[in-house]
Structure 1
Amino acid sequence: MLDLLPPVLVPEHGEQLTRDAYKRDFRARETALRDASSWKLERRQHFEEQGSPSRDALRRGEWETALRLLEDRRDALLATAREDERKGYRFHRVRVVEEPLPPYVQWELHSLRQRAEYGERIRVVSGGRVAAAEREHPLPEVVVLGRETLYQVLYSEAGTTLGAVRYTDHDLVRGWEHYIRKLYEAGEDVRSYFEREVAHLPPPTE
């Protein structure tokens, strides 16, 4: 268990963004970053991603198609990796997992393993690692962009994106970056976790 606690997020202290406004704002701010790092914490065990053919195939129960569609995006991942390298941009992700793995997480770990092959820095931590921070409620879904902006991404009960709360308070942003960084340091590289815990699993059923 990591005893460190993250700062409290108070929605009234941030700016509410709709789903479309969040995506536009995130894209613009991330594109502008140079020689910077970003940090993402994923806690939920189920998302209903929109605009992902592979996720749609999983939802239909077409596992082999879902994996094939992930393979089809390798050129896009390579292009993104080269652009990030040109800009000196480093993206870190911490994925909290509960076992046995839910179908979504099993599928996502295939996706994350592939992203790691193209330079994305991804580590896995167990739910037990974050227990100290979850005594009252689960950790939020958080992205810290370039030490300047924090997004608390909001989801429906079903796991669809509703929007986000954007925070720019310096101490809050740095505090969350520090927390996610410590989780990252305590985590396991997604590639070794995948080979041990995921590669042998049969196709999931939602």
Structure 2
Amino acid sequence: MPLDRTNKISQWDKIEDMTLVQLVYVSTLTLGSRLSASIFDEVEGHARKYNHQHGITGTLCYGSGHFLQCIEGEKAYVFDLQKRIFADSRHKNVEVLLLQVIDHRSFADWRMRLLFLERWLWSPATKKQAAQLSPFLPFAPHGWSPDRTEQFLQIIKTFDSPPHIKAAGITYNALGNMFRHIAAPHQAFLIIQGFLSILLVVALILLFL
């Protein structure tokens, strides 16, 4: 899997292991991952222990099938984590947007909070707070310039609470929610069409018996 399109990752060799760094990358979920309702819980759960033990902080954002993750910590630990993340087959099209030495962290919470940048996942209480993100939606972070990436990070680090609602399983699944929003207003139509399709299949079977 190519690491990025501009070879930014080669900068690692120039940075001392104990230096505080910030890495921001973007990627695209594979189709199989989009169909997995538990992927976000898995990613968050696997990261929690490692981050706490190795002083990793940051944020993970998801929207429109894309991930943007900001990882902060000592170069040696961020480098190890980066290798594991980039080798993960659940996503593809990995691109590094930012890799820089920093004096202080933008995200001090080691739990690596998860932000959903899908408006239909936001509760009314968070919509006002997240309105600042309108220039970045629909979420398509591939190809963002360093300036645009830093503007985005500056906005989300000021949020009082993550702009998403807590929900179970299928709520996190973009394809599942898309179907739910389409199906709900036309439920009666879909039921009728399904019933007619069954009758047609039965008629064809009887015709050729």
Give TM-score scaled by structure 1 length.
Answer: 0.34
* Largest Rg, 1 or 2: 2
Higher RCO by CA contacts (8 Å cutoff, separation 6 or greater): 1
